[in-house]
Chains A and B, each alone.
Chain A
Amino acid sequence: EPEVTQTPSHQVTQMGQEVILRCVPISNHLYFYWYRQILGQKVEFLVSFYNNEISEKSEIFDDQFSVERPDGSNFTLKIRSTKLEDSAMYFCASRLDRGGYNEQFFGPGTRLTVL
């Protein structure tokens, strides 16, 4: 069964450093998303991506964040200068949105720890 994969599973970084989180969405899906979940809190939407551009973003997704689909399979989230409050689980999700299939499938997540 196709699934969303994410690497690395755990990333530890120093405050102010850049990190890139990687995701491989399900191959025929058209919409891609990043969410984050701070420990003990709700899953929060960050950004959606369709047709090689951002279609929607939240207030959390400021100039420190960027997304890219560098090739036909990978989808990345970059945080340019990490802050302590960026520590969270980051989930990638993908959605087909064709033929009535509207659900999003999530990856296993990357735990980001900023020291």
Chain B
Amino acid sequence: RKEVEQDPGPFNVPEGATVAFNCTYSNSASQSFFWYRQDCRKEPKLLMSVYSSGNEDGRFTAQLNRASQYISLLIRDSKLSDSATYLCGSSNTGKLIFGQGTTLQVKP
């Protein structure tokens, strides 16, 4: 079993839709969680850190559920520019363990 797992998708949604991604992790010692965005296999860009209390940044909301060992990312009012691969990552000793990534395609 992979330490961090994501549904690879692709998720094809129309502009304006709300879309949610989940990511599960198996290492209960993981302390920190992140969502990154990667465009066309360029460098990953940090989208959000994920806190136990949940956090929101504009159209993006991230949640952490420690009991069930998953994190989620909700994107509201999708834009064409949101099309990308979204990577979730977990860390407990500094190194980041990433999932395979979930591909999102927002259509006009």
Query: Are both chains from one complex?
Result: no
Q: Using a CB–CB distance below 8 Å, which chain A residues touch chain B?
A: none
Q: Using a CB–CB distance below 8 Å, which chain B residues touch chain A?
A: none
